[in-house]
């Protein structure tokens, strides 16, 4: 049985707790590795060592730190297939999708090469007589990143790139479900020239997370995961005065206006609803067609597309549309919610409940589901299902559709499909959602913009990547300097030797 250890001080380090977690192959349901789970004291030791390493790293000039990022870009590209294969085998997503996971993380490392520019402060001369004022951005020290299972390369890289390039040391606590890729990334950072101890990967569960939250050394926590845990982390981190940004769950709506190109909208919905088995925080899980006729035509176009979806293991080739969900528990939860939807009166237009894949009967595969006539009081509308289940809520008007988006507790992403610029503009301006797509179903901002949701999808200030990340991982010091006049000599008209 393969063992996954912690990555401490530049090397794999077996845990001492005696506690482990099973890492599954979601396609077969078999355990493929055992993961060490850290104790509080193991976490504390990793932090102490990181704090020692950070002193020199924080004082290294930004250009040299940026060069580590440059080399990291080369190494990730070199190992892209290796990383994606491991990612698919532990997460279950298709191979092209796994490459996309690595790629979107890589783009933030590319952005972090610009750290020297992003870390510059401001300056004004002559703020008063003999007075200049300037600000500088300094690293925080040791920061923690706690990441979810659904993007095991992208989200750790979103944290590590800006935090490390800003001169911090990072303790990464990745998801227990797919922990190997984060270790591989840490090994690549070492190869890229990152000094030992500056990046520690500590594996664990609540015990390890609580140790990070309670540590007086850790200065900031970047969390991504489900909303209840995001809120818990935000509150507990605040008790020791930490800076925290905690991103949570989602229920992303896509409005389809009567003037939309319905073939385009249906294609977009299928990709955004079922890609990665619906296990994306930016997945579209609610379709909101405006008007009965739009709804009828949309459902008519969706059904054959959904019935054609190819569900299978990543090893079956690149024409698989999506793979298994991450665990047996996730599968059971999705199917429980589907039953609840039926009980509460939603119309199950595509029923994936009996889906089974020959040869992979023990895998965590879930067939695609499409619900019609879902209403806002139903559990399948209120809850994040995080599976291949798309709900259709019919709206009578644009205002009713907008109201659904506005009233939902989550505010991560949303989209509108229309040919009318005025409607699109109004929607983008008025909706209370962090990321908006106009004829784009999954509007994930590129690395040089920032990523973050509103309402229960994001706690704290400042988003992930883009310039916000550099603000989050540094603090501002403002210096006011006064050099009184009268100490310099009078005018001199000849060159003087510098002594
Ligand atoms: P999760 O909340 O179960 O786990 C996230 C992290 O928190 C993991 O590292 C886990 O070990 C840790 N954790 C879990 N329970 C804990 C507890 N009781 N105390 C302390 N730590 C705990 O989330 P997940 O299932 O890994 O990921 C899926 C969720 O993440 C979905 O809700 C999805 O929408 C969300 N997500 C959000 C974004 C975003 O940017 N908003 C991005 C990706 C995923």
| Ligand 1 atom nearest to 174, measured from its CA | 9
| Ligand 1 atom nearest to 229, measured from its CA | 2
Please state which CATH number belongs to domain 2-248+457-479: 3.40.605.10
Model pLDDT, residue 491: 64
* Catalytic site includes residue 281: yes
Check if the beta carbon of residue 190 is closer than 8 Å to that of residue 72.
no
> Which helix (H) or strand (E) covers residue 187, if one does?
helix 180-191
Candidates 212, 281, 282, 338; catalytic one: 281
The token duo for 356 is 């089974």
- Please choose, from the candidates 465, 477, 479, 478, the residue with its C-alpha nearest in 3D space to the C-alpha of residue 115: 465
Residue 382: Cβ within 10 Å count: 12
Task: Judge residue 417's burial from the number of C-beta atoms within 10 Å of its C-beta, 0-12 exposed, 13-18 middle, 19 or more buried.
Answer: buried
Reduced to 3 states (helix: H, G, I; strand: E, B; else coil), residue 193 is: coil
Q: Which residues line ligand 1 (CB under 6 A)?
A: 146-151, 173, 175-176, 205-206, 209, 224-226, 229, 247-250, 281, 384, 386, 412, 453, 457
- Please choose, from the candidates 292, 291, 312, 288, the residue with its C-alpha nearest in 3D space to the C-alpha of residue 381: 288
- Between CA 416 and CA 394 the distance in angstroms is 14
The token duo for 313 is 């293991």
Pairing, β 243-247 against β 131-139: unpaired
Alpha helices per DSSP H over 30-79: 40-59, 62-78
- Between CA 142 and CA 95 the distance in angstroms is 34
Residue ID of nearest Cα to ligand 1 atom 24: 148
Model pLDDT, residue 494: 73
Q: Which CATH number fits domain 252-438: 3.40.1390.10, 3.40.30.10, 3.40.309.10, 3.30.930.10?
A: 3.40.309.10
Residue 111 CB contacts under 8 Å (≥ 6 apart), including other chains = 161, 162, 447, 448, 465, 466
3-state helix, strand, coil in the chain (%, to 5): 40, 25, 35
- Å from CA of 150 to ligand 1 middle: 9
Residue-range domain boundaries for the chain? 2-248+457-479, 252-438
| Ligand 1 atom nearest to 227, measured from its CA | 32
Residue found by looking up tokens 């279950």 in the block? 92
- Å from CA of 229 to ligand 1 middle: 7
Pairing, β 252-256 against β 169-173: unpaired
By residue count, the chain amounts to 499
- Å from CA of 490 to ligand 1 middle: 67
| Ligand 1 atom nearest to 230, measured from its CA | 2
Q: If you average pLDDT over every residue of the chain, what do you get?
A: 96
DSSP conformation class of 465? S
- Å from CA of 223 to ligand 1 middle: 8
As a whole number of Å, the end-to-end CA separation of the chain is 70
Residues of the chain with pLDDT under 70: 486-492, 495-499
Model pLDDT, residue 492: 66
DSSP conformation class of 448? T
Residue found by looking up tokens 């380090």 in the block? 13
| Ligand 1 atom nearest to 247, measured from its CA | 41
Q: Please report how the helices 62-78 and 180-191 are oriented relative to each other, as an axis angle in degrees rounded to 10.
A: 130
Express each pLDDT in 39-72 by its tens digit: 999 999 999 999 999 999 999 999 999 999 999 9
- Between CA 344 and CA 381 the distance in angstroms is 11
| Ligand 1 atom nearest to 147, measured from its CA | 9
- The residue to mutate among 149, 213, 226, having the most atoms of ligand 1 within 8 angstroms of its beta carbon, is 226
- Å from CA of 337 to ligand 1 middle: 19
- Å from CA of 168 to ligand 1 middle: 23
- Between CA 499 and CA 487 the distance in angstroms is 17
Alpha helices per DSSP H over 375-437: 379-382, 398-407, 421-430
Cα 489-490-491 angle, rounded to 5 deg: 125
- Å from CA of 248 to ligand 1 middle: 7
DSSP string for 280-327: -TT-EEEEEEBSHHHHHHHHHHHHHHHHT--B--GGG-TT--B---S-
- The residue to mutate among 148, 409, 462, having the most atoms of ligand 1 within 8 angstroms of its beta carbon, is 148
- The residue to mutate among 26, 93, 229, having the most atoms of ligand 1 within 8 angstroms of its beta carbon, is 229
Residue ID of nearest Cα to ligand 1 atom 22: 206
Express each pLDDT in 150-159 by its tens digit: 999 999 999 9
**CA pseudo-torsion sign 372, 228, 244, 201:** negative
Check if the beta carbon of residue 268 is closer than 8 Å to that of residue 254.
yes
Residue ID of nearest Cα to ligand 1 atom 38: 281
């Amino acid at each position: 049985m393969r063992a996954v250890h912690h990555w401490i001080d530049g090397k794999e380090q077996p845990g001492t707790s005696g506690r482990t977690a099973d890492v599954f192959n979601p396609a077969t349901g078999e355990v493929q590795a055992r993961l060490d789970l850290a104790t509080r004291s193991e976490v504390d030791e990793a932090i102490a060592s990181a704090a020692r390493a950070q002193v020199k790293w924080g004082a290294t000039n930004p250009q040299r730190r940026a060069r580590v990022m440059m080399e990291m870009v080369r190494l990730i590209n070199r190992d892209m297939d290796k990383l994606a294969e491991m990612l698919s085998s532990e997460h279950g997503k298709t191979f092209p999708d796994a490459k996309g996971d690595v790629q979107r993380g890589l783009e933030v490392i590319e952005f972090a090469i610009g750290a020297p520019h992003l870390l510059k402060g401001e300056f004004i001369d002559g703020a008063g007589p003999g007075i200049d004022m300037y600000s500088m951005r300094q690293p925080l020290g040791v920061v923690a990143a706690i990441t979810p299972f659904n993007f095991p390369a992208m989200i750790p890289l979103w944290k590590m790139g800006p935090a490390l390039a800003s001169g911090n040391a990072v303790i990464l606590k990745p998801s227990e479900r797919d922990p190997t890729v984060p270790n591989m990334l840490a090994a690549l950072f070492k190869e890229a020239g990152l000094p030992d101890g500056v990046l520690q990967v500590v594996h664990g569960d609540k015990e390890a997370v609580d140790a990070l939250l309670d540590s007086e050394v850790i200065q900031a926590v970047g969390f991504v995961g489900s909303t209840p845990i995001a809120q818990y982390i935000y509150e507990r981190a605040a008790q020791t005065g930490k800076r925290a940004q905690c991103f949570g769950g989602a229920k992303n709506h896509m409005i389809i206006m009567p003037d939309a190109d319905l073939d385009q909208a249906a294609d977009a919905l299928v990709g955004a609803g079922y890609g990665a088995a619906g296990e994306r925080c930016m997945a579209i899980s609610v379709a909101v067609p405006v008007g009965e006729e739009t709804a009828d035509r949309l459902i008519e176009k969706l059904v054959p597309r959904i019935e054609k979806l190819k569900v299978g293991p990543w090893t079956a080739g690149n024409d698989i549309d999506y793979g298994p969900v991450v665990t047996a528990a996730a599968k059971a939860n999705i199917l429980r919610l589907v039953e609840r939807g039926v009980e509460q009166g939603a119309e199950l237009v595509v029923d994936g409940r009996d889906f089974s894949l020959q040869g992979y009967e023990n895998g965590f595969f879930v067939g695609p589901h499409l619900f019609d006539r879902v209403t806002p009081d139903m559990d399948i509308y209120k809850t994040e299902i995080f599976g291949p289940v798309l709900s259709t809520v019919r709206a009578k008007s644009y205002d009713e559709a907008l109201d659904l988006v506005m009233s939902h507790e989550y505010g991560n992403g949303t989209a509108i499909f229309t040919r009318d610029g005025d409607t699109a503009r109004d929607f983008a301006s008025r909706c209370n959602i962090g990321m908006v797509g106009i004829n784009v179903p999954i509007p994930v901002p590129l690395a040089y913009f920032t990523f973050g949701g509103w309402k229960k999808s994001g706690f704290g200030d400042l988003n992930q990547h883009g310039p916000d990340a550099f603000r989050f991982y540094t603090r501002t010091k403002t210096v006011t300097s006064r050099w009184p006049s009268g100490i310099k000599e009078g005018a001199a008209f000849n060159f003087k030797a510098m002594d």
